[in-house]
């Protein structure tokens, strides 16, 4: 019997992939990586398109608020001269807070009404000074078309802001609060809260008409004329 001494070449095995030739393993790895990249690109495209669509929707929905801001801009004078009128469409975040009974409320609940969103706190001296004017504004113009939504952001003693309103006999404003002060962070993220107090005039679609950083005499003739013009139909 003749024993062959011929040495046959062994298949090129990839040590990281037992049992597979190196070329096949490499092809598999390339295919998997390509699939992952394609999937990531696809997801990015989906989210990118989704973001574009949301922005386009917000711009279309908020265009009337910008037009209104231009129309009433001449009225931003005197006691409300510090108002910054909207020059580009901006839909505010759907702010979440609580009412006096602890029920969760959202800004979107005021859809169809013009709202003056005001953030205040008892530790903010200018806030306390302007609260009587906001209360008077609510008494004068508050109704089916307009409301002052003043949101307290005291984070410690929940009774302190309630006692302040009671002692100051401010009874026309509904009591809203956010003990985590997230509403401030949400407006800050939107570029509309730089300090306290902060007020944003919002139309019925939740879009910015004007923003004011600091206090104002909201019960003045200047303010009343501007709010009336903003709510005129």
Residue 38 has pLDDT above 90, yes or no: no
pLDDT level of residue 37 (50, 70, 90 thresholds) = low
Start-end of H helices in 142-177: 159-167
Query: Region 20-38: what's the mean pLDDT?
Result: 54
Cα–Cα distance, 99 to 160 (Å, whole number): 15
Written out in words, the top-level CATH class of the domain with range 64-231 is alpha beta
Count other Cβ atoms within 10 Å, centred on residue 19: 9
Question: Residue 179's pLDDT band (boundaries 50, 70, 90)?
Answer: very high
Report d(CA 63, CA 184) in Å as an integer: 25
Q: How far apart are CA 95 and CA 188, in angstroms?
A: 12
pTM score of the predicted model: 0.77
The domain spans of the chain are 64-231
């Amino acid at each position: 019997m003749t024993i062959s001494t011929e040495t046959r070449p062994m298949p090129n095995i990839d040590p990281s992939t037992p049992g597979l030739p190196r070329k096949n393993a490499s092809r598999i790895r390339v295919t998997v990586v390509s699939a992952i990249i394609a999937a990531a690109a696809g997801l990015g495209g989906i989210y990118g398109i989704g973001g574009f669509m949301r922005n386009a929707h917000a711009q279309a929905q908020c265009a009337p608020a910008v037009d209104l801001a231009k129309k009433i801009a001449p009225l931003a004078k005197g006691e409300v001269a510090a108002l910054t009128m909207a020059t580009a469409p901006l839909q505010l975040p759907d702010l979440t807070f609580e009412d006096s009974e602890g029920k969760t409320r959202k800004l979107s609940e005021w859809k169809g009404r013009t709202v003056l969103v005001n953030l205040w706190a008892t530790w903010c001296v200018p806030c306390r000074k302007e609260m009587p004017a906001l209360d008077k504004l609510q008494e004068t113009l508050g109704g089916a078309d307009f409301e002052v939504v003043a949101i307290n952001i005291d984070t410690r003693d929940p009774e302190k802001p309630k006692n302040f309103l009671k002692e100051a006999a401010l009874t026309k404003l509904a009591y809203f609060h956010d003990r985590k002060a997230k509403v401030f962070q949400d407006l800050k993220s939107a570029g509309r809260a730089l300090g306290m107090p902060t007020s944003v005039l919002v139309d019925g679609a939740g879009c910015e008409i004007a923003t004011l950083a600091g206090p104002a005499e909201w019960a003045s003739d200047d303010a009343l004329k501007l709010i009336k013009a903003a709510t005129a139909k």
